[in-house]
Structures are given as structure tokens and as C-alpha cells.
Amino acid sequence: MKELTAEQRKRIAVFKKIDEKERNRTVVSKPHHQSSICPGKEWLDTDGRKIEAHGGSVYYEDGLYYWYGENKEYTDTKNKVWTWGMKMYSSSDLYNWDYRGYIIYPVIDDPSSSIYPTKKVDRPHILKCPSTGKYVCWIKLCGEDACFTIFEAPSITGPYTMVREYYRPAGHRAGDFDMVEDKESGKAYLFFDADHNSLLCMEMAEDYLSAEKQVCSNYTNSIRPFTREAPCAFERGDKKYLISSCMTGYAPNRSDWAVSDRWDEEFKSMGSPHLNDKSDASFNSQIAKVFRVEGTDKYIAMADRWISYIRIDASLADIIRRVTGSKYRPDLFSCTKEEEKKIYLINHLESVNTSLATYVWLPVQWKDDRPFIEWKDEWTI
């Protein structure tokens, strides 16, 4: 590790105080119980504390659902924290969640570490590897790093140990991703934004610790803001599905769903899954994962409302598309200086207070093989 600068030492002193607070946090229980899901509203765990599991996923095992994701509690624009580790919760009913602690703590004293608090760490995904029996967790770093860091654990709740960092599959700059298992073939696949150019599918190694074999490419040669991010891979019956968003920072946008008969064949884009969406921005949210309710044919789209304090409407969604597009293809998109300034103020990544982010969980409904999502202020499974 290089010698620390004065600024880094000052920042680490702040991080040590946060770390001490987190590791010694006592549970002051204010019991919370709920019997429904209220999209966009603050969601508390059973101790009465705000759930911190953003950009996450749900894993089912032995009668319990495990919800894990990014801790954004300290991402309030004041201390340069991007993500303060990854937390996990468990539930038997999908309404009430018990806090299970950190599965990955940040490294607070080494700025070169891929999980240092200022690193742009996002979107953990976990699969259990059948060949090793280990639970493998990939996380992604965005921005200049554009890569993956990979962990293993003996159980779903951890402890997770880093086994690889700053990894780029086949040399590709990596963006948002998802991982999925094919139960029939026993293979696992990695879907990720490759080089901001396509949604690439690669076959994962037997131990799930790498992916070097490309099997198909989707949304190839897309341009921002239409290149895809936040891919969610899931299956129903004999169909495979991808839901993804455009690339407009933390500002929400219109999702797209795509379908294929196989994981390793190109997916066909089918349009937005959100019905009667006056926001034209996926009900002001970005889907992180779609999962099936165990033992049923019911599916849930779990999404984040990253900018909870600004409501996007169709007019603002159009401005966001044009402002973002004008940076990369000024021949196709145009905007005024006033529009550009407006979007910068609400969507500059380093100045968005994601500690205020909320969750938007909605049921996925079906018409034949077509998934669709409608808004509900409150709903039950």
C-alpha cells in the first residue's frame, strides 16, 4: 500500500469512527410488524430500523428468504462514502425482515482496496456453486474501475472471504450484471454490461470464480443512454427473460423486457413491462432483481427508488434522455443549457443522497408469456 496522503488519513479517521459505531451497534428494539408491501414507502426491519439492502437480490433456502444488498446509510454526500458494505436480512413471509448483519464489511484503511468506502461498489449477486458447495458473491465496481470483486462463503450468511478483485472477464470493462443457473445443463451464466456497448452473456467457470467464454451478445452496439444496465435474469416455464434499464445515472428511465428460449441465445427486445406508467420511468424506480415466490407461480420485481426526493414525470424523463444522449451522440440528441443544468443538479452521481433511497416491490403479472407490472399503493402476496 502506498503512503497515505494527509487527506486520506483524515478520511480514514472518519471511517474508523463509522466502523466502530457499526461493529458495536446495540439493538434497541422497536418491534415492527407489517402484513403488506407498500412500494416507495420506508421499509423497516423487525427491530424498527430502516432496511439497507439496495441494488440487491433475494436468495431462498430452507424456508427462508435472504435479502441482501448495498448499505447506503452513509451515502449522504457528506463523507464520500459510496457504499458502506453489504447487509443481509431474512424473512419467512417477505413482509417482515430480521437483520442478519453484514455479509461484507468495507476495508476502511486501504484506499487501494476494491471495497474501500469511496469505491463505487454496487449490486451483489450470490449463487451456490454445486461443484464446491461454496456460496459465491460477485460485486461490481463502476466508474473508472469497471470490474468485479468476487467472494466465497461456507453458508449464505457468510462470512464471505475475498478471492479475487479488479477482475474483468475477457478484458471487458464491466458494468451492471446478473448471474443465473441453468438447472438442466448445470451451467451458470453471467449477464453484464460490457464496455457500455452490449449486454454480454458469458458462461461461468465450474467454480463460479470467473467467466471467460462468451456465448451470446444482446442489445449490441447500443449507445448511451440506450445501452443497457441493471439486467435481471429469470425464467418461467420454458422461457428465459431479461429486464433491464437504460443508462441515465440514478435518474430512473423506461425499462425493457426481452425473451429467449435459451440462456445462451440472443434475447428479443419486447418493450416496457410497466403498464399505464405516467412517469415513463418505471414508476420512478430501477428494477434490481425479479424472483419467484417459492412453491408458487408468483414473481416479484424488486426495485430501488434511488432519488426518492424527486418525482420524475414523462416530461422530465424526456429531458433526462436527451441530456444524457447529447453527451454521446450530439448528432441524434439535443438539449438546452437550462435543461442540461437542471439534470446535472438532480442527477450528478456524487451529489445524489441515496441514504434516502426507498424500495419499490411490485408483483409481476402475466398475459400468456408476456410479463407486465402495474402500480399498486399497497398489496399482499
Q: How far is Cα of residue 159 from the mean position of the Cα atoms in its chain?
A: 21
Report the alpha-carbon distance of residue 273 to residue 258 in Å, rounded.
Answer: 10
Binned at pLDDT 50, 70 and 90, residue 226 comes out as confident
Where does the pLDDT of residue 225 fall: very low under 50, low under 70, confident under 90, or very high at 90 and above?
confident
pTM: 0.96
User: Residue 116 has what pLDDT?
Assistant: 98
Smallest CA-to-CA distance from 230 within 216, 217, 213, 249 is with 249
**141 within 8 A of 112, measured Cβ to Cβ:** no
**Alpha carbon distances (Å) from 109 to 8, 13, 103, 145, 341:** 9, 9, 19, 19, 36
Whether residue 83 has pLDDT greater than 80: yes
- Mean pLDDT, to the nearest integer, of 183-206? 94
Residue 1 has pLDDT above 80, yes or no: no
CA distance 126 to 136: 5
Mean pLDDT of 47-60: 97
Q: Where are the domains of the chain?
A: 6-373
**Into which CATH architecture does domain 6-373 fall?**
5 Propeller (2.115)
Buried b (16+ CB within 10 A) or exposed e, 36-65: ebbbbeebbbbeebebbbbbbbbbeeeeeb
According to the model, what pLDDT value does residue 195 have?
A: 94
pLDDT score for 2: 80
pLDDT of residue 342: 85
Report which of 298, 189, 286, 193 is spatially closest to residue 245, judged by C-alpha positions. 286
**Cβ-proximal residues to 356 (8 Å cutoff; 6+ apart), any chain:** 308, 309
Cell 408476456 locates to 370
Q: What is the mean pLDDT of residues 86-103?
A: 97
Q: Alpha-carbon distance 301 to 291, whole Å?
A: 7
More confident residue, 92 or 212: 92
